[in-house]
Amino acid sequence: METEVEKKQEEFELIPVTPLRRLEKRIEELEKKASINERELYKEIIQIIRMNQEIVDALIKANDALRIELSKLPLKLEELVKKLDELIELIKSAGEEEAKPQLESKPLIEKIEKLTEINNKILENNETLISLLEEISRKLARPLPPPKPPFPLKTTQ
């Protein structure tokens, strides 16, 4: 029960009233000295509040627009990353293709050398064949002596 009683009691403090009275008098004097009448003051306050509300509305619109643009950003970043990955893959494959000929050039050079040797042999054989054909052509161009009869002819007289 004591706790309920304690709750019902209000806290209070003893404050000297004199400084409060002095502040009240001072506020009254300031109000009297002010040349602005209350209606004008309220009108200005209302204008300030309206301008403040317009600014808040503009900020809300700008914030929404910014939020929409920011929501598009992750998709565009993903597209950019995919394109960069594709570019990197192309560069890697191009590098591998450039490296392959260097690794494969020795067997290719050896094959080319073998083909060159075979071509040289074929050339030599062709030259030999040409010379034999020329010799045969010369022999065919000469008149042939009449053939000798296989047995001697008897002459009757």
Domain ranges (residues) in the chain: 22-141
pLDDT in tens, 10-27: 666 667 778 788 888 888
pLDDT in tens, 66-94: 999 989 989 999 999 999 999 999 988 88
Number of helices and strands in the chain (H, E): 3, 0
Q: List the single range of 28-32, 86-90, 111-115, 142-146 with lowest mean pLDDT.
A: 142-146
The whole-model pTM stands at: 0.34
Cα-Cα-Cα-Cα dihedral of 108, 113, 114, 119, to 10°?
130
Angstrom distance (rounded) from CA 147 to CA 151? 12
